[in-house]
């Protein structure tokens, strides 16, 4: 889960960075990369898969497209970096001055890994979250209301979820998580349409 970035370093000293992308607004596309090395030539073979959707949430696929290209240069190394942090929760706790090992982050990461990702709907919610969160943070960076919004998210969604998880009310906590997704999508949509 989360974001994925692939860095290809070539023997000639150059490098190429492939960032998987997803835009959650309007007519959007999802772009993922798969990189292999040709065993005969040592060249990178990059497959780029794009899926185009027609609505705010993933649903009906309008079009898919896969392209494959060769680097025509021998590869020195391929490094894949994936992030699985609680992106929005981390931003909220940082805005409040908490550290990366605070109770809220530990509880929510555990909840994500041990409860949400064990069900189909939970996995889908987590997938959507990780797709919209980076774009949300990018929009937030230039917003003068950034810290105010992050504190509101923490107070209304994160603290409430943590409290429910502590009481063993996982279904209710999952519902709060889905409500947070809806709130974030609506908030981002208003920023993009302006």
Helical pair 159-166 and 103-114, crossing angle rounded to 10 deg: 70
Give the position of tokens 């909840």: 111
Decide: helix, strand or coil at residue 127: helix
Mean pLDDT of 182-190: 76
In 3-state terms, what secondary structure has residue 134? helix
Whether 58 shows a pLDDT value over 50: the answer reads no
Q: Give the whole-angstrom CA distance, residue 177 versus residue 126.
A: 9
Whether the pTM exceeds 0.75: the reply is no
- Here the tokens at position 83 are 């992030």
Q: CA–CA separation, 71 vs 79, rounded Å?
A: 16
Cα 189 to Cα 2: distance, rounded to the nearest angstrom: 21
The first and second tokens of residue 186, run together, are 């609506």
- Does the pLDDT at position 2 exceed 50? no
**pLDDT tens readout for residues 74-103:** 888 776 655 555 667 777 877 788 877 788
On average, the pLDDT of the chain sits at: 76
**Which of the four pLDDT bands, split at 50, 70 and 90, describes residue 144?**
confident
From residue 39, give the alpha-carbon distance in Å to each of 42, 55, 68, 161.
Answer: 6, 41, 16, 49
pLDDT at residue 13 above 90? no
Asked if pLDDT for residue 162 goes beyond 90, the answer is yes
């Amino acid at each position: 889960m989360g974001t994925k970035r692939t860095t290809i370093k070539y023997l000639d000293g150059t490098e190429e960075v492939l960032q998987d992308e997803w835009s959650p607004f309007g007519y959007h596309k999802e772009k993922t990369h798969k990189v292999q090395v040709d065993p005969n030539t040592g060249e990178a073979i990059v497959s780029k898969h794009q899926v185009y959707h027609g609505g705010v949430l993933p649903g009906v696929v309008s079009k898919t497209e896969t392209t494959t290209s060769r680097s025509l240069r021998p590869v020195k190394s391929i490094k894949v970096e994936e992030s699985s942090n609680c992106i929005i929760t981390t931003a909220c706790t940082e805005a409040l001055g908490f550290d990366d090992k605070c109770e809220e982050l530990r509880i929510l990461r555990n909840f994500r890994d041990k409860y949400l990702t064990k069900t189909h709907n939970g996995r889908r919610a987590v997938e959507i979250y990780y797709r919209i969160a980076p774009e949300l943070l990018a929009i937030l960076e230039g917003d003068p209301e950034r810290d105010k919004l992050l504190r509101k998210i923490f107070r209304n969604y994160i603290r409430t979820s943590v409290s429910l998880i502590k009481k063993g009310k996982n279904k209710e906590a999952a519902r709060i998580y889905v409500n947070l997704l809806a709130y974030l999508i609506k908030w981002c949509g208003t920023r993009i349409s302006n």
